[in-house]
């Protein structure tokens, strides 16, 4: 052969054909023949780098440029907030006029969210001092604020110098309370409450009373003093007359 180095073999493992006019893939830099140069034909692993899609604004139908690696939804949202020329977007910009002053944030709010330390206007996400790296030195305190601070300091000094009347009254009445409460603290002796009995005797007496209360009562028969015969031996009429006589007594 006159040209032994002419051409190249296809990088596709299933092809390996010698092609005198090889083609180079712009994504993976592989050498392929005309049949396998497409991304889908050789299953290119770097095809996503070349698959660039430009989103379109849904309101004004204008292509929105997106940076590499940036989510398209964020770019479209920023376009609607700033550059969109449609009527709904312009009406929204008239309502949301308060832009966040934090660097890198483009959020707008309907109302002002002013920081009390630095006086800056921020969005809901960055309204706290820690979220927007508040310095607290660029905005001086207003006159009403200074008046309120001085008023609070004056009240604090007056309360610290004047003694409270409640403490004086309580201190003056404390000896009388101590004298009135001292007799009530002295408790009577235990023997006085137990009628002079010791603890063992009082316990034995309580046990006897409890046993007497729980002991079953046996019914007793009452007889006339002049009668020596028990009532169980009476006849029916005599027993009835005996019961009436005992009731009458």
d(CA 58, CA 79): 11
pLDDT computed for residue 231 by the predictor: 53
pTM above 0.75, yes or no: no
Supply the mean pLDDT for the chain.
72
Which pLDDT band holds residue 33 (cuts at 50, 70, 90)? very high
Domain map (residue ranges) of the chain: 1-51, 52-95, 98-143
Tokens of 80: 């609607």
pLDDT computed for residue 163 by the predictor: 52
What CATH superfamily classification does 98-143 receive?
AN1-like Zinc finger (4.10.1110.10)
Residue that wins the pLDDT comparison between 155 and 167: 155
Could you tell me if 37 and 54 are in contact, meaning their C-beta atoms sit under 8 angstroms apart? Answer: no
Calculate what percentage of the chain has a pLDDT beyond 70: 61
pLDDT computed for residue 195 by the predictor: 66
Residue that wins the pLDDT comparison between 127 and 221: 127
Calculate what percentage of the chain has a pLDDT beyond 90: 2
CATH class for domain 1-51? few secondary structures
Which pLDDT band holds residue 161 (cuts at 50, 70, 90)? low
Q: 3-class SS at 201? A: helix
d(CA 115, CA 92): 24
pLDDT computed for residue 246 by the predictor: 52
Give the model confidence (pLDDT) of 89-103 as tens digits.
Answer: 666 666 677 888 888
In 3D, which of 94, 145, 137, 139 has the Cα closest to residue 121?
A: 139
Q: 3-class SS at 53? A: coil
Highest mean pLDDT out of 128-132, 158-162, 185-189, 221-225: 128-132
Residue that wins the pLDDT comparison between 52 and 234: 52
d(CA 191, CA 204): 15
Could you tell me if 122 and 113 are in contact, meaning their C-beta atoms sit under 8 angstroms apart? Answer: yes
Please indicate whether the domains covering 1-51 and 98-143 agree at the CATH topology level. Answer: yes
Helices (H), the chain: 72-82, 87-95, 143-161, 165-185, 190-193, 199-214, 236-248
The whole-number average pLDDT for the span 136-151 is: 64
pLDDT-wise least confident of 56-60, 78-82, 223-227? 223-227
3-state helix, strand, coil in the chain (%, to 5): 40, 5, 55
Instruction: Please give the full DSSP string across 163-185, using - where no structure is assigned.
Output: PPHHHHHHHHHHHHHHHHHHHHH
Q: What residues does 31 pair with on adjacent strands?
A: 24
pLDDT computed for residue 190 by the predictor: 54
Please count the other Cβ atoms lying within 10 Å of the Cβ belonging to residue 222.
9
Could you tell me if 162 and 156 are in contact, meaning their C-beta atoms sit under 8 angstroms apart? Answer: no
């Amino acid at each position: 052969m006159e040209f032994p180095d002419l051409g190249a073999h296809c990088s596709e493992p299933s092809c390996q054909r010698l092609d005198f006019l090889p083609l180079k893939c712009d994504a993976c830099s592989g050498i392929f023949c005309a049949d396998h140069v497409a991304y889908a034909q050789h299953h290119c692993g770097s095809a996503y780098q070349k698959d660039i899609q430009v989103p379109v604004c849904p309101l004004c139908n204008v292509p929105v440029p997106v940076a590499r690696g940036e989510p398209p939804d964020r770019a479209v949202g920023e376009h609607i907030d700033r550059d969109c020329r449609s009527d709904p977007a312009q009406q929204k910009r008239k309502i949301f006029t308060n832009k966040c002053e934090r660097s890198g944030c483009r959020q707008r709010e309907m109302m002002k969210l002013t920081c009390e330390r630095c006086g800056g206007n921020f969005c809901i996400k960055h309204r706290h001092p820690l979220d927007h790296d508040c310095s607290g030195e660029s905005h001086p305190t207003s006159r009403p604020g200074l008046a309120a601070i001085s008023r609070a300091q004056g009240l604090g000094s007056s309360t610290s110098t004047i003694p409270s009347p409640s403490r004086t009254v309580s201190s003056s009445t404390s000896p009388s309370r101590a004298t009135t409460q001292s007799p009530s603290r002295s408790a009577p002796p235990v023997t006085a409450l137990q009628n002079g009995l010791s603890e063992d005797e009082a316990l034995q007496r309580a046990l006897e009373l409890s046993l007497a209360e729980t002991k079953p009562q046996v019914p007793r028969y009452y007889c006339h003093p002049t009668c020596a015969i028990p009532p169980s031996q009476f006849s029916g009429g005599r027993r009835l007359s005996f019961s009436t006589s005992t009731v009458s007594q």
